[in-house]
Structure 1
Amino acid sequence: MHERELRAFVSIAETGRMDQAAKCLGYSQPAVSYQIKCLEQALGTKLFVRDSTGARLTREGRMILPSARAMLSLFESIKSVAA
C-alpha cells in the first residue's frame, strides 16, 4: 500500500470519477486505474463499483475511506516535520 494509491482512492471517492481524480492529481486516467487495481489487490477487496456514470464506493470502500484519509494526514504530518 503506497501513498499514491491512497491519494487516488480518496480522490476518486471525493469526485466520483476516475478521470476527474486523475486530472486533480496530475496523473493519467490509466495510471489512476492501475493504482486502484494495486490497492484492491493489496487489500483483497473491491473498493469501487464502476459504471458509465463514474465510480461509487463499495461497502468496504466506505469503511476504508476514513482510515485512508487519516493515513494521508499522517503522511502530511511526517513531511512537515521532515521539512
Structure 2
Amino acid sequence: MHERELKAFVAVVEAGRMDRAASSLGYSQPAISYQIKCLEQELGTRLFSRYPDGVQLTQDGAMVLPAARAVLALFEGIKDVTVRAASVESARPRSRRVTGS
C-alpha cells in the first residue's frame, strides 16, 4: 500500500468521480483508475461501485475511508517533523574543527 494510492482513494471519494480526482491531483484519469485498482487488489475488496456518472463507496470502502485519512494525516505529520528538523539543523551555527598544523 502506497501513499499515492491512499491519496487517490480519498480524492475520488471527495470528488465523486475519477476524472475530477485526477484533475485535482494533477494525474491522468487512467493513472487514478490504476491506483484504485492496485489498492483494491491489495485489500482484496472493491472500494467503489462504478457508474457512468461517477462512483459510490461500497460498504468496505466506507469502512476503509477513516483509516486511509488517518494514515495520510500520519504521513503529513512525519513530513512536517522532518521539515522542521531540517530547518532547525540549517539554522544552527556550524562549528569548525580546528586541527593542529
Give the TM-score category using the shorter length.
Answer: over 0.9
Aligned partner letter, 1:69:
R
- In the other structure, the counterpart of 1:16 is 16
Per-residue deviation, 1:59: 0.2
Per-residue deviation, 1:62: 0.3
1:13-65 residue CA offsets vs partner (Å, 9 max, x unmatched): 11110000000000000000000000000000000000111011000000000
Aligned partner letter, 2:72:
L
Larger Rg: 2
- In the other structure, the counterpart of 1:81 is 81
TM-score by length of 2: 0.81
- In the other structure, the counterpart of 2:62 is 62
- In the other structure, the counterpart of 1:45 is 45
Report the number of matched residues.
Answer: 83
SS in 2 for 1:46: coil
- CA distance in 2 between counterparts of 1:23 and 1:60 reads 25
Query: Where in structure 2 are there 5+ consecutive unaligned residues?
Result: 84-101
SS in 1 for 2:4: helix
Higher relative contact order (CA 8 A, sep 6+): 1
- Report % sequence identity: 66
- CA distance in 1 between counterparts of 2:14 and 2:61 reads 12
Cα RMSD, aligned residues only: 0.4
Aligned partner letter, 2:3:
E
SS in 2 for 1:45: coil
TM-score by length of 1: 0.99
